[in-house]
Every structure is written in structure tokens, then in C-alpha cells.
Amino acid sequence: MWRSATRPFLAIPLLPMTTDLIQAPSSPQALADQVSQEIGVSQWVTISQAQVDLFADATGDHQFIHVDPARAARESAFGGPIAHGFLSLSLLTALSQKVLPTFEGAIGINYGFDKVRFLTPVPVGARVRGRFVLSEFTPRNAREFTTRYAVTVEIEGAARPALVADWITMTILQG
């Protein structure tokens, strides 16, 4: 369990462990053939105040709009507390784990982002999910390739997404 100075022994499960992969590719080449296609959509996950508080502790960002529900309701334009934008972004790993393809014995690495835009604040208590479109597949050598995903983090019932990002990952095949 994760331990915090202010919240000892608090652990928060993020996602149920089910697969939402639309079509599992059998090989890197099969994945490359899916460029421009939606690869998967994660399940909805609820953003809790406990998650926001833990993120605030981890990052040192204790701005009242995130960690003080009563004050956020009174003094902010959001009507209550909102998740940190970087919390929403950091959820991409968890949202993608059962959606993006993996290959046996391979290592996946977060390679970075070319673009991130935070479009809509995520209210605490809202549900979000990730939508992943493979926009690029680039072989680096016989054992390595990068993938670029156009990712949208949707807020259930909202007209606009929480964020959009161009996310680059690297896969290193073993053998």
C-alpha cells in the first residue's frame, strides 16, 4: 500500500482489470497496419477526492481548487474541487494498460509527448476514460519501434474532453 504522511496506508484502485482492446494485433507489423485506426477505449474511472489529495501530496500542488472542497465550491468558478491537469495526464498509463497492445517479453517505455492540451477541468467525482488512436508507427531497428497515439481523455457527459495529447511510446522486443 501507498503511504502518506497525512493519509497513512491509503491505497486507491484505479481500474478494474478487464480488456477493452478493440482488435489485438498479433505482431508489430499487424499493429503497424492499424495506423489511423482507433486501437481501444478504456473503461470509465471515477476521479475521487482521495486520488486528488494523494496527487497533491506527491507533487506539492495543494491549491485550494484541488484539495479544499468547501472553499472550491465557494470561491472558484468550477463549483467544487477539480483534478489537477497533470493528474488527468498521468492517468494515461493506467487507462492504457488494458487497452493498448503488448507483445510477450517486450518492454514498453513512455517516450514522451509532442502535444498536450488541457481543454476542460475534471470535477472530483466525474468519470473519465481514454480513447487511443494509433497515428504513427516507426521502426527504429529490428527490435525497437515507437508508436504515436492521439489520445483523448473524455469526461462522461461533458461536451468537451478533459485533454488531448500526442503520446509517444517505445517498445523494445526481447530476443
Cβ partners under 8 Å of residue 94, min gap 6? 14, 15, 45
Of 6-10, 160-164, 170-174, which range is least confident? 6-10
Write out pLDDT tens, residues 10-23: 334 444 434 444 55
Write out pLDDT tens, residues 97-140: 989 998 888 999 999 999 999 999 999 999 999 999 999 999 99
The residues spanned by each domain of the chain are 28-172
Q: What are the beta bridge partners of residue 151?
A: 132, 165
pLDDT computed for residue 25 by the predictor = 75
Write out pLDDT tens, residues 40-57: 999 999 999 999 999 999
Using pLDDT thresholds of 50, 70 and 90, give the confidence band for residue 24.
low
> What distance in Å separates the CA atoms of residue 134 and residue 141, rounded to the nearest whole number?
19
CB atoms within 10 A of CB 29: 11
> What distance in Å separates the CA atoms of residue 32 and residue 71, rounded to the nearest whole number?
49
User: Model-level pTM?
Assistant: 0.86
CATH domain 28-172 topology:
Thiol Ester Dehydrase; Chain A (3.10.129)
Write out pLDDT tens, residues 150-166: 999 999 999 999 999 99
Q: What is the DSSP string of 64-87?
A: HHHH-HHHHHHHSTTSS-B--HHH
Q: Is the pLDDT of residue 26 over 80?
A: no
